[in-house]
Each structure stands twice: as C-alpha cells, then as structure tokens.
A = this chain, B = another copy of it.
C-alpha cells in the first residue's frame, strides 16, 4: 500500500463527492472521484485504489454493475468495496453484498462511521500483505523480487545485470561497512571463484553509472562501502 492510501469515490452527486473528499483528505487519504459506473471502472483499472466507495444509483452504469466488472479484473480483485446508498431495504443490501461488495452503508451516512469503516477495511486488507523483499535506503529502493532499483524522486526502475544487482544489494544491506575487494569476491562471487580483485572495480563503475555516483564510496587502500546513513 502507498504511504497515503488512495480512495476512489464514486457518486453522481457532486455535493457528496466534495463532502467525502474534504473529510477523507483531512484524515490523510488521497482521493480520486468518478461520477458514473463506467468512469469508475476505467479509473479503478488505471489507478488500482486501495479502497472503493461506490454509490449504487448512478447514470450510465449503476454501482452493482460497476462492482461486478471491477471484481472480474485481476488487479481489482482484492480491493475492498464499500457500497453506499439511499435505499435501506434489506433486499438491496443483500444484493449489494452478494454482488461483491464488502460492506454496505445506508444514507444518510455518518462521516465518523464511514471513516472508521474505511480504516477497518484498509486494516483488513493490509493484514494479508506480504512484505516485499526490498531494501529502502536513502532515496533507493532495491527490489529483490523484481530485480530492479528505483530512485526515489523519479520512481523509474533501473535494470542492473545480475552481478551488479547482487553487489549493490550486498552493500546496501550493510551500509557504512567497508569491505576489501577480496571480502566482496568471497561473499558476492563465492568462496571458490577465482577472479582478479580489480574485477570488483569494474562492477562498482557500472553500478555508479546506472544508479548514481555517490552511493558506493571508495576507501583508498582498503576497499569500498555503501555510504554511511548514520553520518
């Protein structure tokens, strides 16, 4: 999940959208909005929100149909959907839930309840998240699952060759610690691989080229290290 969870609000009444956006943003959520079902499905596919608040009565495509379509999308399959409607009859509520919604709230809505319910749903889905196998350090994100490195500001993924990635990953897991070339050969290349130690230099060069110059420092006469994040 993002630092600030993204909520998709779907309602054809602008007043309600405004009210919800204002209050949810005050609670530190990011929001996007759609004013009918068709627009909602498109936006949801594009943005993969962390939660969807969906009104039922809408023009073009109603909330039930939108809910069904979203549930067919693999990327939206696990996104909690909160249905919101003026119709409080039991039958509607049952249909809404059976269509794939997780929760059904009836208007008039209480903002504190809605907000608590949104938080509960987020809590519920975050319980299943498996942490990604990645190191965040400085403005870098070194992702072992995807074998890429991202720079914070741009977010663009940089592809490294295998040895480059392994070497950077090794350094970044031990920031500040200095390793001799022989240490690195032993621990990244492997104990029984015999290559000249200057090989390390070349790989450091390539990492600096692709990721940035200042992450790996040269310690003259000793070796290299990832810059110390505590200084």
Question: What residues make up the interface of A, taking CB atoms closer than 8 Å to B?
Answer: 72-75, 77-78, 80, 90-91, 93-94, 97-98, 100-104, 110, 112-113, 116-117, 119-121, 123-125, 127-128, 132, 134-137, 145-148, 156-157, 161-163, 172-173, 176-178, 219-222, 225, 228-229, 231
Contacts and interface: CB of A to CB of B under 8 A. Distances in A.
Q: Which of A146, A176, A231 has the most CB of B within 10 A?
A: A146
- Identical chains bound together, number: 2
B222 A147 contact: yes
Contacts of A74: 132, 134-137, 172-173
Given A78-B128, A97-B117, A104-B117, 18 more contacts: A72-B136, A73-B136, A74-B172, A75-B136, A75-B229, A93-B113, A94-B113, A98-B119, A100-B123, A102-B120, A102-B124, A125-B128, A145-B178, A147-B178, A147-B219, A147-B222, A147-B225, A162-B222
Nearest to A97: B116
Q: Which of A102, A120, A177 has the most CB of B within 10 A?
A: A120
Nearest to A177: B145
Nearest to A135: B74
Contact of A103 (B103, B110, B136): B103
Contacts of A121: 102
A127 B90 CA distance: 25
Nearest to A93: B113
A211 to B, nearest CB: 16
Contact of A72 (B73, B134, B176): B134
B75 A137 contact: yes
Nearest to A123: B100
Nearest to A83: B120
| Shortest beta-carbon contacts, A-B, top 8 | A162-B221, A97-B116, A74-B135, A128-B128, A97-B120, A94-B116, A78-B127, A147-B178
